[in-house]
Each structure stands twice: as C-alpha cells, then as structure tokens.
C-alpha cells in the first residue's frame, strides 16, 4: 500500500507538472466506489476551467488547491497512483480521472483494486479524514516532549501505535518495521514502558527514514542496502537482513510484522 513517501512523490509530480496551470477539461470513468460523495460527472464539471495553485498532502491524502472551491482530494488505497503523460493512449488500464491542462499535459489517477477514493472538499484540512489525522512526520513532526507525554499514557504495542493514523499520519507497515529495526525496539513493547531516549530515537529514526525515501522519490531500488525493506516481503522462510540477521515474522494488530535483532 502506498505510504507517505509514495504520496509525497505524487504530490511533487503534480507540483512539477500541473501547479500553475489551468485545467482545460476533465475526463472520468463512472465508479460509485472510487468517487465518494460526488458523481464523476459533477467532479469533472467542478474542476473544468479551474487554475491549480498548489498541491498539498497530509499523511496518505493529497489534494489540489484551486482558484475556486471545492478542491479535489485523492486517496490511493493499495494500488492507486498518479502519472503524467500527453496522449490518451498512455492512460493506465484502470484510470479513473484525468485532468488535461491547457498546455496539453495530462495528470491521471489510476486505481485498479478500487480501494482508493476521489472526493471534492471545501477545506480538506478541516474535514474528514484529514481532520482526524495526527502528526505528519515529514511536514509536521511532533515535538519530542509532546510525543513522550502522549506515549506514556498508552499501553498499546509500539508497532500498533506507529500504524495509528491519529498519531502518525502516513506511516504504514514497512516504515514502522524499518523504524523499529533501526532503533532495536521490539514491536510488542508497550508504549508506557519506553524510556525518554527510546522515544527520541524512534522519532529521529522515523524522520530519517521518511526523508531518505522522499529524497529518492520513493524509488525503493535506491533505498539503502541495509534497510529491512529489501528483505521483509513474502514471509520467506529463512529470510535474513543485509547483515545476515534472521528475520522473524509475527502478527501484531492484524498486520504482518518483520523483526530482526542486530548483531552486536
């Protein structure tokens, strides 16, 4: 599932190619699941002729700010993505919406498994789901003192807390596992048992991992070789890290969790 770095990459893609341009027309495919709270026809009508002033993101949600409201909001689900192209022949097989700019640039959103959502909102930051989101580790990191106080009041496992979007917006399964691997905090540790240095280490590691993933535009082939990311998929028997450390797989909060103990 796309996590914060992937969505930030698509935000940057929109910023690079459509921000500062006017929408000539909008093409859509009818889909009563993906288009939530608005028909595809109304979505197209509201956006036609509008000027795109900026592309914003919080957690895994992305929206375009226009010269008039409402604004289009996108959530990508497990298989959604943005792509930029010039010809309709380049559309993704499962495209849902396409914005054609006056200069001929097209921004398309695809969603093959239909788990993503397209909405129109007057003020995304003040409406659901964004209004319920917690800190964005990239654009709005929590002050360490505040985070320590919040975590000390909870007894949930740290892995579950990292996946709680009301606490850390945009953090998903692989990022959570990566952070815990590098800080060597076991995912079952209860929040109220963490020491102040451990909480600080978690926050530092979370920021560092997300910043690195964003800096390479979420291209996982460019992630550091020693990241757990490259070895955690598929629950492969006998899987090991780059350093040869055995990987154990367990389920925490309904999510597969990869755990490896670093060599001394």
Active-site residue numbers?
A: 2-3, 60
Cis peptide upstream of residue 146 (ω within 30 degrees of 0): no
Six-digit token pair at 155? Answer: 């007894």
Six-digit token pair at 150? Answer: 């919040």
To the nearest 10 degrees (0 to 180), the angle between helices 144-152 and 196-215 is 120
Query: How many Å apart are CA 151 and CA 137, to the nearest integer?
Result: 16
The residue among 50, 2, 1 whose CA lies nearest residue 26 is 50
Parallel/antiparallel/unpaired status of strands 23-28 and 95-101: antiparallel
Query: How many Å apart are CA 215 and CA 168, to the nearest integer?
Result: 20
Q: Reading across the β-sheet that carries 81-85, which strands appear in turn?
A: 23-28, 95-101, 106-110, 81-85
């Amino acid at each position: 599932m796309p996590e914060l770095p992937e969505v930030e990459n698509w935000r940057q893609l929109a910023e690079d190619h459509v921000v500062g341009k006017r929408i000539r027309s909008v093409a859509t495919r009818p889909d009563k699941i993906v288009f939530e709270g608005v028909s595809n026809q109304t979505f197209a009508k509201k956006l036609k002729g509008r000027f795109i002033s900026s592309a914003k993101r919080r957690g895994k949600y992305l929206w375009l700010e226009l010269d008039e409201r409402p604004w289009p909001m996108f959530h990508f689900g497990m298989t959604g993505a943005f792509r930029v192209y010039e010809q309709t022949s380049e559309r993704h097989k499962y495209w849902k919406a396409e914005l054609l700019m006056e200069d001929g640039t097209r921004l398309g959103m695809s969603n093959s498994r239909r788990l993503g959502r397209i909405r129109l909102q007057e003020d995304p930051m003040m409406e659901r789901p964004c209004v319920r989101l917690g800190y964005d580790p990239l654009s709005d990191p929590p002050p360490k003192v505040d985070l320590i106080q919040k975590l000390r009041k909870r007894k949930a496992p740290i892995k579950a807390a990292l996946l709680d979007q009301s606490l850390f917006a945009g953090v998903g399964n692989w990022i959570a596992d990566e952070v815990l691997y590098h800080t060597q905090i076991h995912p079952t540790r209860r929040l109220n048992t963490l020491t102040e240095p451990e909480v600080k280490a978690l926050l530092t590691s979370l920021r560092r991992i997300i910043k690195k993933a964003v800096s390479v535009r979420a291209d996982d082939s460019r992630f550091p070789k020693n990241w757990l990311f490259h070895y955690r998929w598929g629950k492969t028997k006998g899987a090991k890290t780059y350093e040869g450390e055995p990987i154990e797989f367990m389920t925490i909060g309904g999510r597969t969790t990869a755990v490896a103990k670093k060599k001394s």
